[in-house]
Structure 1
Amino acid sequence: MQEKLEKRSFILSLLLVTVAFLLLVKPFFTPIFWACAIALIFYPVYRYLMGRFPNSPNAMALLTLLMCVVLLVIPVLVVATSFINEAVSLYQKVQEGQIDISKSLEQIRSAFPRLNTTLESIGVDIEVAKQRLLGGIMNAGSIVAKNAIEVGQNTVNFFVMLGLMLYLTFFLIRDGERLVNLIIHALPLGDAREHLLLAKFAEVTRATIKGNLVVAVTQGTLGGIIFWVLGLPAPLLWGVLMTLLSLLPAVGAALIWFPAAIYLYAIGEPVKATILLAYGLTVISLVDNLLRPILVGRDTKLPDYLVLFSTVGGLFMFGISGFAIGPLLAALFLAFWEIFMREFVHPEEFLERPKPKAD
């Protein structure tokens, strides 16, 4: 009886200390997550380097981290800075009247009279919709400008978080294999289940981040190039927006280039509009239709609709990091239910199958 009481007390204390520790590191959730993700992506590089120089784990981990900074961190910082500068500049032009959004909307209305009739027939008040759209655009611009100022004011906080992420990434790269074995040894889920879940975590994280980023950057770059070729304003701004929106499967970059094509038709630029529309439907959309199933859906073993819903849900819950966290949670959800079905509902099938192995 005494032994059972002591064991229960210890388990309760363990849970309380664990919860307290999780609350302690909660403010650092984003850098911790990205440190784990980057370590997973670049770990094969570290393993290759260790094969060449097996007696220099610290130096090889540091070299791998430097490659990560050069290939990933610096380009993201440069593009983000340029994006903020262009967004603030565009917002200032709208405020100063150099860009008249109201006039542009009137041009669209005049160019598509049947659209006005259709909207009015279904009970849409065009003037109210116009005012709401104008208000939404101004609010969005105000938020971007305000956040840009806050980013400047919180530069120290940003670089502290970046430093913590890189610091943790170094240790995860160097000691990743040992930490994984420690987790498997500590968790009371059974080694076979833990190997399956950790393998799924690594597989989905790599596929989601690498796949989504490749698709998003490709679509955003192609979109920015065509905006620049056609002489549209702020091509870098729209290219970055297309990159961000491309994280959403199915729709993505079309939320930018399609309205832009409609606007070009409205202002009397049918050649440019046709080129942009054809380019968007073929080149930009083709990237999404070809690459995303190969890089994301096939590797994560998730249906396209589940990738879409989990990505959108992740973005709502976790912000920009949600494009990776959402599909990861969906994959773990399916993995847990697969284990439950095989072991508790149909255990005879589970016994006949070989146990899963981690990568």
Structure 2
Amino acid sequence: MQERLERRSFIFTLALVTVAFALLLKPFFTAIFWACAVALIFHPLYRYLLNRFPRWPNLTALTTLILCIVVVVIPVLLVASSFISEVAALYHKVQSGEINLGAKVEQIRQAFPGINAALERFGLNFDGLKERLLGGLMAAGSLIAKNALALGQNTLNFFVSLGLMLYLTFFLIRDGNALVALLIRALPLGDEREKLLLAKFAEVTRATIKGNLVVAVTQGTLGGIIFWVLGLPAPLLWGVVMTVLSLLPAVGAAIIWFPAALYLYATGDTVKATVLMLYGVMVISLVDNILRPILVGRDTKLPDYIVLFSTVGGLLMFGISGFAIGPLLAALFMAFWEIFMREFIAEDTPLLPPRNSSPLELDEPQNPGDNPAS
């Protein structure tokens, strides 16, 4: 009795201390997550270098981290700073009246007179929709401009978080295998289950981050290039916006280039509009349709609709980091339920049906004689 009470008290205290420690680390959650993600992505490079220089693990891990900074961190910081500058400049031009968004919307209305009739069929009013759109754009521009100012004022906090992330990344790269072994030993889920879940975590994290970022950067770069070639304003700004929006499956960069093509049609630039429309459909969208299933869907083994909902939900819940956290949580959800079905229901049935099958097609016997139970 005494031993049972002591065990339960210890477990309760352990849970309490663990929750308190998790709350202590809550402000650094984003930095910790990205440190884990970067370590997972660059760990194969570390293993390759360590096989060539086995006597210098610290130097090998430091070299891997420096390559990560040069390849990823510095380019992202440069593009982000340029993006923030262009957004702030564009917002001030709109606010000062140098760019009249209302007049540009009216140009589209005059070029496509059928818009009013189409909206009225759905009970919508163009003027009301126009006011909402302009209000939303101004609010978004104001938010970005204020965040840019806040980022400038909180530069120290940003670089402290970045420094903590890189510092933790070094140790995760160097000691990753030992930490995983310690985690497997500590968790009370069963070694085989823990190995499977940690493998799923690593697999989905690599696939989601590498795949989504490759697709997003490719689409954003292609979009920015065509905007620059056609002489459209702020190609870097719209390229970065398309990169961010490309994190959303199915819609992505089309949110930018399609309205831009419609505006060019409305202003009479038919050639540019046609070029942009064809380029968007045949090049930018094709990148999404080809690369995303290969780099994301195949490795995560998640259907496109689950990837879409988990990505959008992750972005809404966790911010920009949600494009990786959302699909990761979805994959872990699927993995837990597959383990449950296999071990507790004693069914070797996949959680999702094959893509070519219909859930309404049941394997019913053709006649009573075919039923084994009859």
User: Do residues 124 (structure 1) and 124 (structure 2) align?
Assistant: yes
Higher helix share: 1
2:81 paired with 1:81: yes
Q: Distance between the aligned counterparts of 1:331 and 1:277, measured in 2?
A: 35
5+ residue gaps in structure 1? Answer: 351-359
- For residues 128-185 of structure 1, give each alpha carbon's deviation from its aligned partner in whole angstroms, at most 9, with x where no partner exists: 1111111111111111111110000000000000000000000000000000000000
Distance 1:348 1:78 in 2: 50
Q: Does residue 26 of structure 1 match 2:26?
A: yes
1:243 aligns with 2:237: no
Corresponding residue of 2:65 = 65
What is the CA–CA distance in structure 1 between the aligned matches of 2:110 and 2:217, rounded to whole Å? Answer: 35
User: How big is the shift at 1:348?
Assistant: 8.2
Counterpart for residue 317 of structure 1: 317
Corresponding residue number in structure 2 for 1:272: 272
Does residue 305 of the first structure (1) align with residue 278 of the second (2)?
no
Deviations 1:256-287 (A, max 9, x none): 00000000000110100000000000000000
Deviation at 1:120, TM superposition (A): 2.1
User: In structure 1, how many angstroms separate the alpha carbons of the residues matched to 2:304 and 2:121?
Assistant: 35
RMSD: 1.1
> Which blocks of at least 5 consecutive residues in structure 2 are unaligned?
351-374
- Matched residues in 1 for 2:293 and 2:76: separation? 25
Residue 259 to residue 348, structure 1, CA distance change in 2 (3 Å): closer
The answer to whether the 8 A contact 2:216-2:243 is kept is yes
Q: What is residue 252 of structure 1 aligned with on the other side?
A: 252
Contact 2:86–2:234 (CA under 8 A) maintained in structure 1: yes
Name the structure 1 match of 2:263: 263
Kindly report which structure 2 residues correspond to 1:198-347, keeping only aligned pairs within 5 A, or say none: 198-346=198-346
The residue identity in structure 1 corresponding to 2:167 is: Y
The residue aligned with 1:147 is: 147
CA distance in 2 between partners of 1:311 and 1:142 (Å): 25
**Corresponding position of 1:110:** 110
1:98 aligns with 2:109: no
Alpha-carbon distance between aligned partners in 2 of 1:341 and 1:155, rounded to the nearest angstrom: 49
Q: Distance in 1 between matches of 2:201 and 2:122?
A: 47
Corresponding residue number in structure 1 for 2:175: 175
Q: Report deviation, 1:122.
A: 2.4
* 1:45 and 2:45 matched: yes
Distance 1:66 1:205 in 2: 21
1:131 corresponds to which letter in structure 2? E
> For the residues of structure 1 that align with 2:132 and 2:336, how far apart are their CA atoms?
45
Which residue of structure 2 lines up, in the alignment, with residue 185 of structure 1? Answer: 185
For these two proteins, the number of residue pairs brought into alignment is 350
Amino acid at match of 1:70: V
Counterpart residue identity of residue 77, structure 1 = L
Query: For 1:310-350, what per-residue CA distance to the aligned partner results, in whole angstroms no more than 9, with x for missing partners?
Result: 00010011000000000000000000001000100016899
TM-score by length of 1: 0.96
The aligned residue for residue 12 of structure 1 is: 12
1:164 and 2:164 aligned: yes
Query: Which is bigger in relative contact order (C-alpha 8 A, separation at least 6)?
Result: 1
Instruction: Give, in angstroms, the shift of residue 309 of structure 1.
Output: 0.6
Structure-1 separation of matches of 2:348 and 2:63:
48
Cα distance in structure 1, aligned partners of 2:130 and 2:250: 27
Runs of 4+ in 1 over 4 A off after TM superposition: 347-350
CA distance in 2: counterparts of 1:182 and 1:48, whole angstroms: 23
Task: Tell me if the contact between 2:258 and 2:280 (Cα under 8 Å) persists in the aligned partners.
Answer: yes
Contact 2:341–2:349 at 8 Å: present in 1 too? no
Query: Structure 2: which amino acid aligns with 1:317?
Result: M
User: Which has the larger displacement, 182-191 or 123-132?
Assistant: 123-132
Aligned residue for 1:345, secondary structure, equals: coil
Percent identity between the two aligned chains: 74
Structure 2 contact 50–60 (Cα < 8 Å) conserved: yes
CA distance in 1, matches of 2:85, 2:342: 54
- In 2: Cα distance, 1:211 partner to 1:137 partner: 30
Letter in 2 for 1:197: L
Q: What is the CA–CA distance in structure 2 between the aligned matches of 1:265 and 1:79, rounded to whole Å?
A: 30
CA–CA distance in 1 between the matches of 2:252 and 2:348?
44
Residue equivalent to 1:354: none
Cα gap change, 1:348/1:321 in structure 2, threshold over 3 Å: closer, same or farther? closer
